[in-house]
Structure 1
Amino acid sequence: MGAMTIRFDSGQIPAVDRDTAVREIISASIVPVEIDFPAHEGPVVRGAISDVGSLRVCSIKSNATKAERTERLARDAMEPSVFLGLQVSGSSLVVQNEREAVLRPGDLVLYESAAPYTLVDADGIQQVQIRIPTASLGLPGDVLRMISAVKLSPGHPVADLAAAYFRRMAARPDLISQPGAQAISQPSIELVRALITTHLDLAAPQGDAMHASLRLRILEYVRANLRDPDLTAAQIAVEHHISVRHLYNVLAEGGISLGGWIREQRLEGCRDDLARAGLFTTPIGAIAKRWGFTDPSSFGRSFRAAYGLSPREWRIMAHQDPAGLAELRGQNPSRS
């Protein structure tokens, strides 16, 4: 929930334990993958891993020539996440969903933890990786599949902004660990969402892109109006010049239930506000109302069903035991 940074250097690990320890560290702190290191020198890995709210920022330099998330690993219990990879030096290859992206310094690419992928770099994998829970992005699964392993166009203003922003973030883990740094988590997620939506036409045939674009426009409109307790399907349909039936069909094709999606997004907004130090004295009922919940008892039941704690218990734990709360969230990935 807060911000913290862990630095590590494989050179500080006894040689006899290095291979096993490095693999375990990467599996536990970034993502479980199968890794190839040069046989003649073994693992050489240095870097920093920072948690900023729900983001994990990994700035790693290694001599790993290949990292593969296999079919088996992609079905593990890890919370489904999206990685934004920023190539730091050299060139690398990212493979996912039968697509390949060749990256050079400054290039960006996205790939999902819930599907197999492979990273290859003969000179050692040199990427900044931003790991974001898929649920936090709030985008349809088919959109993420369309955009995975697609090089995000250098020179595009949003891509340039994102590359500069995340490069700077990864370069200054000392700033990330400062009090209040977790406040940049949500704007960072918004930037990644903008990066995806502005590049969708690169990743899909025109008809598919237009259809997916409509779904994204609908979701962005809903996201902007979550705090309106009177938000209805009819209002959303009118704003997009479509029928209510077509609205539901467009969302259903992306595996989205409108009512369930609105409730989940509102609950996430409440959850994040309850964890903010500046809102600790704000009544829970006021926070719920701010996010469109009009019935306090119904809100309390929905919150407990989603996160396993009452709103009050969540708030107390967020401020007294953030590490325990982070562990709880990890145990309930479908609810985070």
Structure 2
Amino acid sequence: MLNETVFRTDDLPAADRFDSWCERVGRTTATPLDLYSDHAADYRAHQRVLELGTIHVWPATHRDLRYRRTPKLIRQSDPEHYHIGIPLNGTNRVAWADRKTAYGPYEIQVFDTSRAVEVNSTNGPDLFTGIGIEIPKGQLHLPRNKVDQLLSHTMSGRKGMGALFIQFLTQLMADTDPYQPSDGPRLGMVVVDLVSALFAHALDADRVLPLETRSRTLVLRIRSYVQGNLHDPGLTPRTIAAAHHISISYLHRLFEAEHETIAAWIRRQRLEHARRALADPAMCFVTIQAIAARSGFTRATDFSRAFRSAYGITPRDFRYQALLGLESTV
């Protein structure tokens, strides 16, 4: 599992909760902040911090919160970070000097720890939920004067690079068990690549990015595309290359560094998709042939042969054992 810390105000006496939350946020962002809330008397907050090398990703849920980063606090301490904020439920109302902007759910904003700012995170009577990412400025593959142009810019997290970025974050946060602490820096590199690509796209400056960053980001886009089209039996290296406006030979070169051909990876993803469906009690009345078709296998015999070769058991026997195991735990 990745290095991860968890904070819950429910674990503390009511009188200590808001002060502890303020201290926690200050440590997470590595920046002094003034924090205020109308609910300070009995504050509710929950935060996880995933350590990905020098990159920190922290999903959080909390009551309404207002924080300020003032010139005095900047002079006191500045870690030279970019902070990426993404509301999932609620709104961030942000004020820089003479500019004010509101960011709703799945709208991505960037803050500079060297700039004064005031943020009001609110979700009416409900809890605010969002994701914060801390990135040292020197890690991004873009000139700082370019990133400065994004400080009041809204980037969508519902389409394009923004959607790919949030999809990666939500999948990572949903299950960290498959990873070891040593995987943290590599995952941090993926975050940096995605943020750099997102910013470059918003600035129409893709050519500024290093070739390695563009290649790694393209592989992530291709993987996301494949995951969304596993049901299509026409999903092949040729159609994938065409959808991404690259040659088949370049597609194969991209996956040489992945230690698996694109065709083998597609096949493995289809089998995993089918395996999860077979083990899902909600799918117990869906035929094995239908599950195979939804995973991109047009012939039941081909699916059965491939499944047995991969997992050492027939699809029917696997489903029976998986569902029987669930029943025995009830």
TM-score by length of 1: 0.56
Paired residue type of 1:21: S
Q: Deviations over 1:88-140 (max 9, x none)?
A: 11222233364433222222111111111222133354220111111111432
Matched residue, 1:285: none
Q: Relative to structure 1, is the Cα distance of residues 190 and 16 closer, same or farther in structure 2, using a 3 angstrom cutoff?
A: same
User: Residues 292-303 of structure 1: matches in 2 within 5 Å?
Assistant: none
Equivalent-residue separation in structure 1 for 2:134 and 2:71 (angstroms):
19
Q: How many pairs were matched up?
A: 210
Q: Is the 8 A contact 1:101 1:149 kept in 2?
A: yes
The CA RMSD over aligned residues, in Å, is: 2.8
Q: Relative to structure 1, is the Cα distance of residues 34 and 222 closer, same or farther in structure 2, using a 3 angstrom cutoff?
A: same
Q: Relative to structure 1, is the Cα distance of residues 217 and 92 closer, same or farther in structure 2, using a 3 angstrom cutoff?
A: same
Question: Which has the larger Rg?
Answer: 2
Equivalent-residue separation in structure 1 for 2:37 and 2:131 (angstroms):
19
Q: Deviations over 1:22-69 (max 9, x none)?
A: 211111122422111224743211120111111101111111331221
Structure 2 residue corresponding to 1:152, chosen from 150, 155, 158: 155
Q: Relative to structure 1, is the Cα distance of residues 142 and 40 closer, same or farther in structure 2, using a 3 angstrom cutoff?
A: closer
Matched residue, 1:58: 58
Equivalent-residue separation in structure 2 for 1:39 and 1:191 (angstroms):
36
User: Residues 21-60 of structure 1: matches in 2 within 5 Å?
Assistant: 21-30=20-29, 31-39=31-39, 41-60=41-60
Matched residue, 1:16: 15
Paired residue type of 1:59: P
Equivalent-residue separation in structure 2 for 1:223 and 1:162 (angstroms):
14
Q: CA deviation at 1:159?
A: 1.4
Paired residue type of 2:149: M
User: Residues 127-276 of structure 1: matches in 2 within 5 Å?
Assistant: 127-175=130-178, 178-200=181-203, 213=205, 217=207, 220=210
Q: Relative to structure 1, is the Cα distance of residues 9 and 155 closer, same or farther in structure 2, using a 3 angstrom cutoff?
A: closer
Q: Relative to structure 1, is the Cα distance of residues 147 and 175 closer, same or farther in structure 2, using a 3 angstrom cutoff?
A: farther
Equivalent-residue separation in structure 2 for 1:97 and 1:193 (angstroms):
26
Paired residue type of 2:77: A
More RCO (CA 8 Å, sep 6+): 1
Paired residue type of 1:135: G
Paired residue type of 1:220: P
Q: Is the 8 A contact 2:56 2:135 kept in 1?
A: yes
Equivalent-residue separation in structure 1 for 2:80 and 2:117 (angstroms):
14
Paired residue type of 1:74: I
Q: Percent identity?
A: 17
Which ranges of structure 1 fall in alignment gaps of 5 or more residues? 202-212, 225-336
Q: Is the 8 A contact 1:107 1:163 kept in 2?
A: no
Matched residue, 2:67: 67
Is 2:5 the partner of 1:6?
A: yes
Is 2:111 the partner of 1:121?
A: no
Aligned partner of residue 32 in structure 2, secondary structure: coil
Q: Deviations over 1:261-283 (max 9, x none)?
A: xxxxxxxxxxxxxxxxxxxxxxx
Q: Is the 8 A contact 2:157 2:166 kept in 1?
A: no
Q: Is the 8 A contact 1:50 1:177 kept in 2?
A: no
Aligned partner of residue 149 in structure 1, secondary structure: coil
Aligned partner of residue 189 in structure 2, secondary structure: helix
Equivalent-residue separation in structure 2 for 1:111 and 1:171 (angstroms):
25
Paired residue type of 1:196: F
Equivalent-residue separation in structure 2 for 1:11 and 1:29 (angstroms):
19
Aligned partner of residue 102 in structure 1, secondary structure: strand
Aligned partner of residue 180 in structure 1, secondary structure: helix
Q: Is the 8 A contact 1:175 1:181 kept in 2?
A: no
Q: Is the 8 A contact 1:97 1:148 kept in 2?
A: no
Q: CA deviation at 1:174?
A: 4.4
Q: CA deviation at 1:17?
A: 2.6
Equivalent-residue separation in structure 2 for 1:87 and 1:93 (angstroms):
11
TM-score by length of 2: 0.56
